[in-house]
């Protein structure tokens, strides 16, 4: 057992090794020793062992020139619900061209992507880079816990319709198992994974990363949920999601009331706003958001996997393509004044979005012929890959002089790994953001939209589709503004 003290540290243990394949086995034994303390199954331990070899080999082959003798650090740590392996080196930045020349590289990357539950590649500028492999801790999923009788009840429940009005409150730790049962009842086993694992939900709540408005019937069952996900504890904005309504309780306006509940919560807690994603397989959610005062800020074309089903709305039919979602922002408290810088091409539609949002903003158009200054330093980016959705998000935390090249190389690596949709998030608070967004547009990134106040300021979101088919006629849009945005985005779709 590892003490809570150690679990809360940046890492549980750290090992420094020379960049030689001789030390791969040492790295593996090091990782396995600590992984075993978390009760992983033999199968998961094998995966961790192999993922470690691939990650270390990738570091040795790609971070140092041939003949160069460097070193790297390998660390194991804990974060809520997950065991994390981090490999950090101060070698050369990753280079997709070198990667393509390495016969093993593409195969090694493919294995890493599938053996870990998530992985991040973080460029630390002059401090080097790190690769994170994240493996969710073994938990019992709700599907394993449900008895045959429970599963039968789920089937019968879908036939019945309830008339009693549920009561709404904030989620408590004792609710986690019931939340997982609700997820299974509503989505079967097609939803993104964390909600099927009660202990994972518990950890997120305990660490201030999740809260929910839950609806409870007179039997004490949770029959509705809407959550707020925080990027970090104390964040001033949150992502609203995991909307679930028990099929028996449709027609009680649970979704709408949950939104109002969380809006009041956000206002009371001085949060600037709540953002959310509304599906486009139907218009109900978008209309619901608009009626509550939320504003459209973007469209993500190929966000949700095509195997997501909706029970009882479209008779459980699978969507025929990766689903687009409309991004919304609901302001809940006064935000700080900010200046944002937009490129010429995106300015018209983004200005409309900002006007509709009515945030305290000065919006500057940076003409294409202007060459604003850029920081005389290297960029800091954080790339998170979500294998269950097959998407990646490149978060630009600092725009440096190498930003365009760095992001382009990262894009190529992600495409080699067959990630289908890649997002880049650019802070809009400096003039050079307009240049970066223009250059990335030329490199194939399409506009997606903006996310207000995501990281101490607004973020421009752009999207790259890696051989993903999109038929705009299948995207159901509820408003004129979102329709204009979709038209603008599709101009760059080829």
Q: Which of 9, 18, 65, 104 binds another protein (CB under 8 A)?
A: 104
Scanning 188-280, the segments in alpha helix (DSSP H) are: 198-206, 254-268
- Regarding 110 and contact with another protein (CB under 8 A), the answer is yes
Contacts of 44 (CB under 8 A, 6+ apart): 35, 135, 138
Residue among 107 and 170 whose Cβ is closer to another protein = 107
Give, as one character, the DSSP assignment of residue 160.
-
Q: Looking at residues 226 to 245 of the shown chain, list those that interact with another protein (rule: CB under 8 A).
A: none
> How many CB atoms within 10 Å of residue 146?
17
Percentages of the chain per state (helix, strand, coil), in multiples of 5: 35, 30, 35
- Regarding 88 and contact with another protein (CB under 8 A), the answer is no
- Regarding 415 and contact with another protein (CB under 8 A), the answer is no
CA 197 to the chain's CA centroid: 18
Residue among 113 and 461 whose Cβ is closer to another protein = 113
- Regarding 298 and contact with another protein (CB under 8 A), the answer is no
The Cβ-side half-sphere exposure at 325, using a 13 Å CA radius, reads: 17
Distance CA 180, CA 178 (A): 5
* Residue 248 CB, nearest approach to another protein (Å): 39
Q: Looking at residues 1 to 30 of the shown chain, list those that interact with another protein (rule: CB under 8 A).
A: 21-22, 24-25
Is there a contact between 406 and 124 (Cβ–Cβ < 8 Å)?
A: no
Distance CA 16, CA 26 (A): 10
* Residue 414 CB, nearest approach to another protein (Å): 18
* Residue 486 CB, nearest approach to another protein (Å): 35
Is there a contact between 184 and 196 (Cβ–Cβ < 8 Å)?
A: yes
Q: Which of 97, 103, 149, 360 binds another protein (CB under 8 A)?
A: 103
- Regarding 389 and contact with another protein (CB under 8 A), the answer is no
Token reading at 235? 């964040």
- Regarding 46 and contact with another protein (CB under 8 A), the answer is yes
**SS3 state at 17:** strand
Residue among 21 and 152 whose Cβ is closer to another protein = 21
* Residue 302 CB, nearest approach to another protein (Å): 22
Q: Which of 35, 54, 88, 236 binds another protein (CB under 8 A)?
A: 54
**SS3 state at 353:** helix
- Regarding 43 and contact with another protein (CB under 8 A), the answer is yes
Residues, the chain: 494
Is there a contact between 362 and 381 (Cβ–Cβ < 8 Å)?
A: no
Closest to 35 measured CA to CA, from 43, 470, 258? 43
Residue among 44 and 239 whose Cβ is closer to another protein = 44
Q: Which of 13, 92, 111, 313 binds another protein (CB under 8 A)?
A: 111
- Regarding 49 and contact with another protein (CB under 8 A), the answer is yes
* Residue 192 CB, nearest approach to another protein (Å): 20
- Regarding 100 and contact with another protein (CB under 8 A), the answer is no
Backbone φ, ψ for residue 427 (5° rounding): -70, 135
Site string for another protein, 57-86 (x = CB under 8 A): x-----------------------------
Q: How many residues bind another protein (CB under 8 A)?
A: 19
- Regarding 155 and contact with another protein (CB under 8 A), the answer is no
Distance CA 428, CA 106 (A): 34
Residue among 273 and 387 whose Cβ is closer to another protein = 387
- Regarding 37 and contact with another protein (CB under 8 A), the answer is no
Interface residues toward another protein, by CB under 8 A: 21-22, 24-25, 43, 46, 49-50, 53-54, 57, 103-104, 107-108, 110-111, 114-115
């Amino acid at each position: 057992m590892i003490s809570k003290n150690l679990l809360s540290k940046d890492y549980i243990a750290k090992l420094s090794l020379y960049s030689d394949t001789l030390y791969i086995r040492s790295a593996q034994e090091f990782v396995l020793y600590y992984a075993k303390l978390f009760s992983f199954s033999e199968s998961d331990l094998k995966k961790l062992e192999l993922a470690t070899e691939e990650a270390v080999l990738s570091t040795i082959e790609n971070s140092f020139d041939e003949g160069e003798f460097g070193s790297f650090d390998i660390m194991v740590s804990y974060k809520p619900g997950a065991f994390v392996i981090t490999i950090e080196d101060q070698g050369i930045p990753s280079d997709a061209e070198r990667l393509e020349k390495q016969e093993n590289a593409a195969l090694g990357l493919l294995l890493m992507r599938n053996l870990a539950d998530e992985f991040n590649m973080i460029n630390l500028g002059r401090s080097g880079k790190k690769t994170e492999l994240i493996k969710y801790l073994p938990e019992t999923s709700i599907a394993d816990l449900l008895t045959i009788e429970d599963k039968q009840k789920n089937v019968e429940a879908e036939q019945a319709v309830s008339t009693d009005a549920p009561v709404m409150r904030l989620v408590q730790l004792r609710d986690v198992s019931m939340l997982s049962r609700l997820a299974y009842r509503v989505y079967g086993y097609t939803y993104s994974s964390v909600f099927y694992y009660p202990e994972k939900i518990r950890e997120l709540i305990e660490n201030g990363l999740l809260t929910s408005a839950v609806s409870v019937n007179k039997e004490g069952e949770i029959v509705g949920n809407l959550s707020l996900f925080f990027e970090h504890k104390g964040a001033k904005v949150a992502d609203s999601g995991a909307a679930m309504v028990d099929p028996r309780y449709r027609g009680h306006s649970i979704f709408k009331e949950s939104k109002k509940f969380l809006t009041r919560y956000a206002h009371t807690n001085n949060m600037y706003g709540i953002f959310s994603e509304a599906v486009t397989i139907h218009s109900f959610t978008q209309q619901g958001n608009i009626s509550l005062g939320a504003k459209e800020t973007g469209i993500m074309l190929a966000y949700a996997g095509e195997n997501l089903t909706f029970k009882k709305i479209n008779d459980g039919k699978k969507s025929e393509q990766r689903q687009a979602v409309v991004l919304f922002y609901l302001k809940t408290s006064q935000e700080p004044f900010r200046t944002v810088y937009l490129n010429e091409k995106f300015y018209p539609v983004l200005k409309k979005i900002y006007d509709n949002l009515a945030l305290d903003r000065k919006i500057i158009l940076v003409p294409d012929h202007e060459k604003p200054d850029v920081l005389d330093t290297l960029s800091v980016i954080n790339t998170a890959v979500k294998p269950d959705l097959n998407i990646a998000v490149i978060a630009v935390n600092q725009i440096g002089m190498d930003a365009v090249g760095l992001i382009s190389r990262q894009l190529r690596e992600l495409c080699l790994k067959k990630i289908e949709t890649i997002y880049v998030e650019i802070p809009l608070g400096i003039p050079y953001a307009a240049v970066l967004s223009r250059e990335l547009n030329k490199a194939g990134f399409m506009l997606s939209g903006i996310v207000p106040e995501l990281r101490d300021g607004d973020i421009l979101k752009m999207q790259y589709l890696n051989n993903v088919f999109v038929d705009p006629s299948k995207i159901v849009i509820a408003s004129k503004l979102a329709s204009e945005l979709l038209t603008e985005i599709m101009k760059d779709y080829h």
